[in-house]
């Protein structure tokens, strides 16, 4: 299991889909169009980092290590 996760702040997510463009095997959109992390996420961590950085609203938080559980 990955030792990282991504938390999505649903109040900040616009549903723009940019994170899916960067890491399509790790993010999906739910029925409301908001980002959700796929389980298990399928991209390299670097791609996920790029997706987190690219989010225009800062809705994504990458958590690494024991806090990710
Ligand atoms: S890039 Fe950010 S605002 Fe856009 S869908 Fe992903 S989490 Fe939501």
pLDDT digits (tens, 9 = 90+) for 30-49: 999 999 999 999 999 999 99
For residue 20, what are its two tokens?
């899916």
pTM of this prediction?
Answer: 0.93
Q: What is the DSSP letter of 29?
A: E
Instruction: Write down the architecture of domain 4-68 according to CATH.
Output: 2-Layer Sandwich (3.30)
> 35 in ligand 1 pocket by Cβ < 6 Å?
yes
pLDDT digits (tens, 9 = 90+) for 3-31: 999 999 999 999 999 999 999 999 999 99
The domain spans of the chain are: 4-68
Q: What is the DSSP letter of 3?
A: S
- CA-nearest residue for atom 6, ligand 1, is 19
Q: Which of 53, 61, 9, 54 is nearest to 35 (CA)?
A: 9
Find the 52 Cα to ligand 1 centroid distance in Å.
Answer: 8
pLDDT greater than 70 at residue 1: no
> 62 in ligand 1 pocket by Cβ < 6 Å?
no
């Amino acid at each position: 299991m990955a030792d990282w996760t991504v938390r999505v702040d649903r109040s900040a997510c616009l549903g723009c889909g940019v994170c899916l463009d960067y890491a399509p095997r790790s993010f999906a959109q739910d029925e409301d169009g908001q980002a959700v992390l796929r389980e298990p996420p399928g991209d390299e961590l670097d791609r996920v980092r790029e997706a987190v950085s690219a989010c225009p609203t800062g809705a994504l938080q990458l958590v690494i290590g024991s806090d990710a559980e």
